[in-house]
């Protein structure tokens, strides 16, 4: 979905004062970002069911306004779900990278210690003398 379409959806939601039924009561579009994915999934399923029931099957009749509003609401919920999934994936990647970085830093520290432990007595004394200056 393009940024313009997303912006249009949220403008429509604000102008028409869309409310989304949830276990926490009726929520505005911006409140959807505070929900967990499971709650968003429940809302999306309920909206999809309402669309299916309201639309009926007809290839001749135009869709009712209420159905197009429900479609817009469903698109908003799907956008929020996609956004939250992308954020969760980015968080997992960031955590994995942080873990890998910590592991490599620890490994580097061990290698440096091994390198120092391999020094001869004369080399250690030379380094101590260099530090003392």
Residue 52: the pLDDT is 85
pLDDT tens, 7-63? Answer: 899 999 999 999 999 998 999 999 999 999 999 999 999 999 998 887 666 667 766
Contacts 24+ apart (CB under 8 A), 61-66: none
Residue 107: the pLDDT is 97
What does the DSSP 8-state code read for residue 1?
Answer: -
pLDDT tens, 79-112? Answer: 999 999 999 999 999 999 999 999 999 999 999 9
Q: What is the DSSP string of 58-114?
A: -SSSPPPHHHHHHHHHHHHHHHHHHHHHHHHHHHHHHHHHHHHHHHHHHHHHHHHHH
Query: d(Cα 22, Cα 39) in Å, to the nearest integer?
Result: 7
Q: How confident is the model at residue 6 (pLDDT cuts 50, 70, 90)?
A: confident
What does the DSSP 8-state code read for residue 32?
Answer: G
Is residue 35 helix, strand or coil?
coil
State the pTM of this model: 0.72
Whole-angstrom Cα Rg for the chain: 29
Domain residue extents for the chain: 3-132
Residue 132: the pLDDT is 81
């Amino acid at each position: 979905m393009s940024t313009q379409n997303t912006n249009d959806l949220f403008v429509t939601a604000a102008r028409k004062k869309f409310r989304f039924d949830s276990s926490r009561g009726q929520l505005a579009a911006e409140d959807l970002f505070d929900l967990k994915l499971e709650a968003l999934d429940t809302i999306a399923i309920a909206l999809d069911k309402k669309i299916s029931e309201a639309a009926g099957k007809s290839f001749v009749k135009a869709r009712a306004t209420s159905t197009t509003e429900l479609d817009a609401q469903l698109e908003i919920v799907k956008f929020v779900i996609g956004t939250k999934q992308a954020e969760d994936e980015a968080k997992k990647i960031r955590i994995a990278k942080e873990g890998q970085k910590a592991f490599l830093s620890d490994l580097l520290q061990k290698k440096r210690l091994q390198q120092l432990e391999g020094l001869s007595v004369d080399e250690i004394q030379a380094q101590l003398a260099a530090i003392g200056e």
